[in-house]
Amino acid sequence: MRKGLLFILMITLSVLLAACGSSEDQTESADDSNTNAEEETKDTKWNELQDEGEIVVGTSGTLFPASYYPEGSDELTGYDVELMREVADRIGLDLKFEEYGVDGLLAAINSGRIDAVINDFQVTKEREEQFAFSDPYKYSYSTMIVRESDLSGIESLEDLEGKKHGGGATTVFSQIAEHFGATTKTYGNVTNDVYLRDVENGRTDFIINDYYLQSLALKALPDIEVQLHPDLQFHPTSSSIVMPKDATKLQEEINATLQEMHEDGTLTKISEEFFGGKDASKKPEQEIREIEGLDL
């Protein structure tokens, strides 16, 4: 009788263990399936690029010295352009640039016409809700171009009230100008001289933009009677490559490549070529005014 009971208990225990094993196997299988599904979603854009062997990147082609055509040349170049060429080469993809006005670049990602954007774009909270960003490849801060004759009547950011700013409608710089009470005159995909001459002749009063870009634009166009404001340095910035929100694998590949380019000095070398010997790939050392009350 005891042997029979022992035999029954052993059979019951075996069934329970088998059932537990089956449940665990099913759980592990489900976990594996979820992981595979996540990886598949994560790799969608990357797999697409691998299949095509090419990445299409949007840029303006009019933003000196980030993305522009040298006088008399039909070859696109600039800090952002040459950096992106190096990134694409290192991740094993051919590169094609498509040119858009600044306000059309992010829309071109959303429509699927391009795979990424590089055009001195800053990361903002609003943009992060819609797009993925690489680690920064450039650090800077904002400055202001004003008329040489009277600094456009501006001594502080608070003096922007009622002034007219020249810039793109969707830029951080226009947000800053409007935060302090200015209005923005918007442009299409025009070159720097158009912006500068409008300040000179009074159609606009000032232009907020990146320190490196503005200082070099002024150097390239010395005949226009405008200058950087001597006392206003504000809004520390960083620039990143913009990608579709779900392009996680592409983001990882680009970030790893940028890190490699930081470490081997490639970013410094490209920066010094386009920014007058200055290294824009590192954070500036001076104190820059933060803009309070503006959610960027």
176 and 208 share a domain? yes
CB atoms within 10 A of CB 152: 22
Q: How far apart are CA 80 and CA 281, in angstroms?
A: 11
Within-domain flag for 22: no
DSSP labels, 166-183: ES-TTSHHHHHHHHTT-E
- State both tokens at 208: 């907020």
- Domain residue limits at 224: 139-236
* pLDDT (tens digit per residue) in 171-186: 889 999 999 999 999 9
69 and 196 share a domain? no
96 and 231 share a domain? no
166 and 219 share a domain? yes
Q: What is the crossing angle of helices 79-90 and 266-274, to 10°?
A: 160
* pLDDT (tens digit per residue) in 198-223: 999 999 999 999 899 899 889 889 99
Tens-digit pLDDT profile for the chain (296 aa)? 444 443 433 334 333 333 444 444 444 444 444 444 445 545 789 999 999 999 999 999 998 889 999 989 999 999 999 999 999 999 999 999 999 998 899 999 999 999 999 999 989 888 999 999 999 999 999 999 999 999 999 999 999 999 999 998 878 899 999 999 999 999 887 888 999 999 999 999 999 998 998 998 898 899 999 999 999 999 998 999 999 999 999 999 999 999 999 999 999 999 999 998 999 999 988 889 999 888 76
Q: Are 61 and 76 in contact (CB under 8 A)?
A: yes
How many separate domains does the chain show?
Answer: 2
